[in-house]
């Protein structure tokens, strides 16, 4: 475990083949993603698997967050994410340094706010990962550039009342039109949650690399 209370779920012998970082939602903790992390560790026994804690106490009075959601709007969300992004990149780079693995061997998996941060990182000038898996997430604004070296996977319940699944559909379409490597998995009758079907779909994407 790191000083920031992130949870190192699996550390393979030697350097390992991959670095897989999980990012929880707002008001949650790294522990909330441990069932998914455990399934991923079983899927990829040669990977580092880490459930990363967000840096700031949540507006909700429990758990943690990357950016505040109180009074959030479509306009100010963009600036809030931009302010949080250096810390997000620093967290990813820190685990890359510790594991000895580079962006080409790194997968980012985010749920809700964690997915928002992971998706927005694909718009940075320098890629920090080769694969991003968004669970019940969205871009703060439509993608502006094609993440040429990153494969992006969207997994979204079609009954999500918190983040409209149409955001994932629109983003996947836009990225595909830019020539990005992208796919979309809509999970029937699933809300804003990670159920067993979501776990299986994520593990399938992890196996594909």
156 is catalytic: no
112 is catalytic: yes
d(CA 6, CA 69): 22
Residue 42, H or E segment:
helix 34-43
Residue 170's nearest CA partner among 154, 181, 157, 159 is 154
54 is catalytic: no
**Which of 99, 112, 121, 134 is an active site residue?**
112
Distance from the first to the final alpha carbon of the chain: 25
**Which residues on neighbouring strands pair with residue 192, listed in sequence order?**
none
Q: What is the dihedral of CA 95, 41, 110, 89, to 10 degrees?
A: 10
**Which of 6, 153, 160, 168 is an active site residue?**
160
Catalytic residue ranges: 112, 160, 192
């Amino acid at each position: 475990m790191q000083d920031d209370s992130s949870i190192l779920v699996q550390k393979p012998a030697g350097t390992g083949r991959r670095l897989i970082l999980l990012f929880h939602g707002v008001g949650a903790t790294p522990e909330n993603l441990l069932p998914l992390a455990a399934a991923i560790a079983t899927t990829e026994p040669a990977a580092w698997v880490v459930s990363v804690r967000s840096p700031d106490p949540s507006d909700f009075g429990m758990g943690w967050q990357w950016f505040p959601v109180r009074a959030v709007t479509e306009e100010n969300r963009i600036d809030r994410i931009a302010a949080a992004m250096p810390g997000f990149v620093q967290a990813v780079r820190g685990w890359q340094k510790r594991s000895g693995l580079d962006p080409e061997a790194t997968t980012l998996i985010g749920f809700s706010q964690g997915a928002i941060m992971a998706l927005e990182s694909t718009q940075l000038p320098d890629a920090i990962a080769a694969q991003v898996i968004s669970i019940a997430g969205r871009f703060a604004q439509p993608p502006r550039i094609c993440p040429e070296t990153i494969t992006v996977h969207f997994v979204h319940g079609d009954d999500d009342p918190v983040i409209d699944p149409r955001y994932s559909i629109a983003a996947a379409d836009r990225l595909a039109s830019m020539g990005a490597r992208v796919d979309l998995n809509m999970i029937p009758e699933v809300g804003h949650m990670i159920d067993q079907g979501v776990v299986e779909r994520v593990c399938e994407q992890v196996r594909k690399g």
